[in-house]
Amino acid sequence: MRINPDARIIVKKNEYGALIVTGHDKIKSGYGNGDCLLLNLKDTFFALSDSAERYSQASRDILERLGEEVDREGVPVKKEEWLDLVNRVFAVQKYQHKATFSLAAVRRNATGASLCIINGGDSVVTVVSRTTGRVEYRTEPNMNFAGRSKGISGVVEVTLKGKEYRLVMASDGLSDVARFCRVDIADMMGTFLSREHVHQIPEKLLEMVRSAESRGIAGNYDDIGIIVVDPMNLARNSDVQIMMGGTNPIEENAYQKMMSDSESFDEWISLKDLPEKASYVKMCGIRVWA
């Protein structure tokens, strides 16, 4: 696993990649980054939340509670158990702390894998074939936002037969990247997000954003959060858990100032080098623990 804290990118070759980008208007207005990602490689589940600018850390709050609930109760086995756990987490979200919530739990078997998928709000979970580029499953937006709803009504189990499938979890900020590229999300899923090496996607997405800004075509764009995973390639011996984003205005302003004053960018940190860099990584809105 490697972390680029400046760019807010986390990758592991052929296994997964994750990225958050703070929206242009959020930086200008002094808001935090409301997109938050959780990668639990120990128990092989992934979660994403996107909160409103009024309380940007609402996304981090709900994902922290999710992690705490799993630590306390253990990892659910059945999809109904996952739904019960998620609804317990949902039920205590304060009304004014509106946020989307997406979860995908990977369970592998001898012939493939299954994904337990739960989605509330307008973030999107997609399963796409790396061979054909075809979207095999996609969640639909709904009104089950944390802080507005006391639970999510649906849970889906998607069976994956073979190694060709990729999981893509994204906040609605991804639609702005599609706008930069003048394509729709379906086209982006069927080409770039399905065909590129999984660990190269975050860096290339960030390049798209930076290029759009440099050419003056980006305009005001929302926070961007994305997790891409090749489920059948996940290592079975990882104890790492990662949370990134969900920063409050003070944290985000400190990060943005640090980046504007910094002369060194795009430094990659390996897991073994993380202890000596942990405080810097945390200042970038990233937390890694076992």
Kindly give the confidence (pLDDT) of every residue in the chain, 290 residues in length, as a single tens digit, with 9 standing for 90 and above: 999 999 999 999 999 999 999 999 899 899 999 999 999 999 999 999 999 988 999 999 999 999 999 999 999 999 999 999 999 999 999 999 999 999 999 998 777 789 999 999 999 999 999 999 999 999 999 999 999 999 998 899 999 988 899 999 999 999 999 998 899 988 999 999 999 999 999 999 999 999 999 999 998 999 999 999 999 999 877 899 999 999 999 999 999 999 988 766 678 999 899 999 999 999 999 999 98
Element (H, E) at 98: none
Left, alpha or beta for 125 (phi > 0: left; psi -120 to 50: alpha)? beta
Token couple for 289: 């623990």
Pick from 74, 76, 36, 28: which is nearest to 52 by CA? 36
Q: Would residue 216 be called left, alpha or beta, if left means φ above 0 and alpha means ψ between -120 and 50 degrees?
A: left
Written as one string, the DSSP assignment of 205-218 is: HHHHHHHHHHTT--
Question: What is the domain partition of the chain in residue ranges?
Answer: 2-289
Query: Under CATH, which number does the domain 2-289 receive?
Result: 3.60.40.10
Alpha carbon 224 to chain centroid, angstroms: 9
For 6-27, write each residue's pLDDT tens digit.
999 999 999 999 999 999 989 9
**What is the reported pTM?**
0.97
